[in-house]
Structures are given as structure tokens and as C-alpha cells.
Structure 1
């Protein structure tokens, strides 16, 4: 499930940068020049892009398979106590992996992550059921058209460079994988995982993110078993690494300083 693994940078501490739905490792490009000066960086792509990704669709129906793939990668790379930076769906993948193998992680930086997107009486996830049903229907009807509309909302501002970068990675997804994975993400409920996460975490939310509102970050912080802090980036959209990279870097620097003190 993991392809295009690369290691760059220098330093004793290793950061693992894991992209979310529709993205690729290129979404981290703005952060690499700074982070690579003092840290070793492990990057990869989830294999829902390009040729050969559509073999067994069932593996995209559970985040457990993604978590197992992440654990296998860290074991193969002989890494332990990494700082894991997971965007969107990768945030919850990192949480699941940390429950299974806490020795592999020293800190989780969860960027615009969410354990559940569907609203309920006691939980604000950001979406009503009819909205999710329409989203899935549009993906099934015409993924490319849906992707164009979603990207414009997810970027959240007029940034043609960011839009084009994201469009390129989204358009490389297999439509059948895009649909199965979207169902896994938007219909899933992983709130019970939070109470099992003992690895320290920093939950990073964007102040105006239509995918993962600030209320989700507050909920996650209150439910984590281990120590959890909440950072709010004043920006728009779901991809701060593309549109608010300097603000995200400032948060990550605080995460790294804290991680060094506690390791």
C-alpha cells in the first residue's frame, strides 16, 4: 500500500510525513527545505495513485490495513520513536498504528484529522448524512468533476499553484479507489480509537476548515488517553501545508522542541 519511499535531510530525529486523501508526498514540498536542515525526513505515497493501485479494493475499506503498512515501513526502515506528521486520514492511521506499536512513535502531529465526519446529537463532525450521501454519489457519478469542486473548497483561497498541485495528485487516483476510500473515511467512526492513544499528540486544526472543523480538534483533545495539546492555525481550507506552510512550520517547530525534551 506504500510506494515511492524516500529519506532526505539530516539529524538524529526522524519525522514521518504522511499525506491524506487525494494527496501525495508533494503536498509537503513547502516544508522540506526548512525541516530537512536539522531532521531526517521519511516520505512516501499511499498507493491509490497510478498504475497497479486498483488490485484489491477491500484493503481500502479499513484504516487497519493502512496502519499495518505504516508499521511495516517503520520496521523495515529500522526506525523507532519517530515524530509522525499525518494529514487528514493519515492522522487517524497514525493513531491506530501508535496503539498497535507505541514504541515506534514519540509524538503524533495530527493535521486536520478527524475520527468521524458525520454529525450526531452529541458530536459535531461537520457533515449531515445527506451531505455525505451527495458527496459519495458525486464521486461515483463523475470523480474528476467532483475532484475539481472539492479541491477549490479544500484549498479555501485563490491559490492557483496549490490548486494545480492538488489537482495533479487527485486526478491520478483510480476512481474506484477514490469511492471506496471516501466511504471508509466519511462513513467511518473511529472515535473509540482516541481513548487508546497513549503517545503524546498535538492536534493541529485550521480555523476555517469545512472538512474538519475546530470542534473536531477540541473533541479529539478531550478524548485522547495520552497528553494532547491543540493548536489552531488561523487560515482557510483543509491543506495548511499548501496554503499556510509557514504557520504550520511554526507549530511543528514547537512540537519538535517538546518532543526532544521528553524523549
Structure 2
């Protein structure tokens, strides 16, 4: 394993593993602690656009072209935005539990009401560590207690002064208009039951994305198939990549 320590690669704690001619970029969703929190600017990162620009800059710094991008949750939509800005950098997008909007409205089922999102933010602000434990128990398959505990601890390592504004950016985002501009082939990965992202969102995205897109349903509960159903997810990724030993990059 090679850990890159300079430039944006160092700031984002990007790790490069493996070898090969094709790169797979793995990007985590909310609750991941891969990046340096001291570099977070709540004004700059009040929308996904700045995250997408960072992704593009990282890919350019690593001299990658036509990569397979695997983005979980918020990173899925960030990858979509980046692919619109620089389609040459992306061969395909694998969107795991991604959603362009979490709030219901206008005939769209996002999964939450305005009041429910307000309660989430309020609970984060009042007692972040208790919220983290309860949230992890709700969004990770309860039949896998070690994964629930792992994500709970990951959330609790976040600094509340950074976690709350990022959560606002995520839960109040509305990127539905972005989808029709995505021309990169997409595989939309959804679990059978995800309280964060209803299954209807996956098919909504498939309908709106202009490029070729497919939906793959993994037989598991929760928002984290890479923790609780990783073998099934690997089957999906293998089919996407026609696996031949590509290089791995995690951000």
C-alpha cells in the first residue's frame, strides 16, 4: 500500500493500492472520517459542487483517466456532478445508496418529511454522540451488530461543529436537475430495505439519467451494503468492471 502524503491527495488522505491499467475510485458517504477535518470550510462546502471540484482535482493530481467511480450515498451524487463537469475522467459510475433529494415533495418520494429532517438536525445539535449511536442502529442492518458498532464509532469520531453543517448540506440537497445531464454509464445499487433511501429513488434516478443506467438490488437491509453484504456487492462490482486487477483509490 502506498499512502500519498502531498497535495490534495494528502489532504484527503487518499490511499492507492494494487496495480493495473484501470483505476477504481472508492468514495465514502457521510460519516466517513477519511479526510482531514481541519480543512473543512462550511461556506465552501455548503453544496456538492465544491466536493465535486475536489474530486476532479484529486483525479487530475493522480493522472487518472476514464476511471470507474464507486460512490456511497452523498459521494454518489458528487460523482454524478463531477462526471458532468469532466466526463473524460469517468468510464462508469457505481452509485451505492445515492439520492438526489431526501425530502418528499412534488410527487417525489425522498424518504423524509421536512419535520423529520429538522428533528435529525436538532438531535445532532443537542447531543451528537447519542444521536450517532441511534442513527447507526437505524441505518445499518441490525442483524450485523459489529457493523452497527463500527459505523457508530466512525460517526462519533466526527467533530459536531463539522458534522452538523455537512448533514445540512446532505439532507437539504436537491440535485434532481443534475441527473438529466449525466451521460456516463451508471449502475445504481440499492438494498431491499433502506430507510435513508427508498427503492423508488433508485428507479427515479434510472429514469432521469440520460446515459445508460441499470439498477441492481442487493438482498440486505440498511444503507451500508459494503459493510453488511460485501460479497453481494463485490459480485455487482465484478460485473461492472470485468475485473482484471485494477488499481484501487479510496478517498
Taking structure 2 as the reference length, what is the TM-score of the superposition?
A: 0.90
Shift of 1:191: 0.3
Matched, 1:215 2:224: no
Map Cα deviations across residues 36-94 of structure 1 (whole Å, 9 max, x no partner).
xxxxxxxxx2444xxx245x221231111100100000000000100000000000000
Q: Does 1:194 align with 2:203?
A: no
- What residue number does 2:20 align with? 11
Structure showing greater relative contact order (alpha-carbon pairs closer than 8 Å, 6 or more residues apart)? 2
- The CA deviation at 1:258 is 9.5
SS in 2 for 1:210: coil
Question: Does residue 252 in structure 1 map to residue 237 in structure 2?
Answer: yes
Per the alignment, in what secondary structure is the counterpart of residue 117 of structure 1? coil
Q: CA contact under 8 A between 1:60 and 1:177: conserved in structure 2?
A: no
1:158 aligned counterpart, secondary structure? coil
> What is the CA deviation profile of residues 114-141 of structure 1, one whole-angstrom value per residue up to 9, with x for unaligned ones?
0000011310110011111111111111
Q: Do 1:67 and 1:97's aligned partners in 2 also have CA atoms closer than 8 Å?
A: yes
Deviations 1:158-179 (A, max 9, x none): 3232123212321121101111
2:194 is the alignment partner of 1:185: no
Structure-to-structure mapping, 1:1-263, within 5 angstroms: 2-24=11-33, 45-48=34-37, 52-54=38-40, 56-257=41-242
Q: Over aligned residues, Cα RMSD in angstroms?
A: 1.8
Aligned-partner Cα distance in 1 for 2:174–2:35? 21
Q: Distance in 2 between matches of 1:99 and 1:6?
A: 25
Distance 1:224 1:121 in 2: 19
Residues 133-164 of structure 1 deviation map (CA, whole Å, 9 limit, x = unaligned) = 11111111111111100000111223232123
TM-score (norm 1): 0.86
* Separation in 2, partners of 1:225, 1:237: 28
* Distance (Å, rounded) in 2 between the aligned partners of 1:198 and 1:157: 36
Gaps of 5+ in 2: 1-7, 245-251
Mapped contact 1:53–1:174 kept (Cα < 8 A): no
1:166-223: per-residue Cα shift (whole Å, max 9, x none)?
1232112110111111111111100000000010000001110000111000000000
Q: Distance in 1 between matches of 2:105 and 2:61?
A: 41
Residue of structure 1 in register with 2:3 after alignment: none
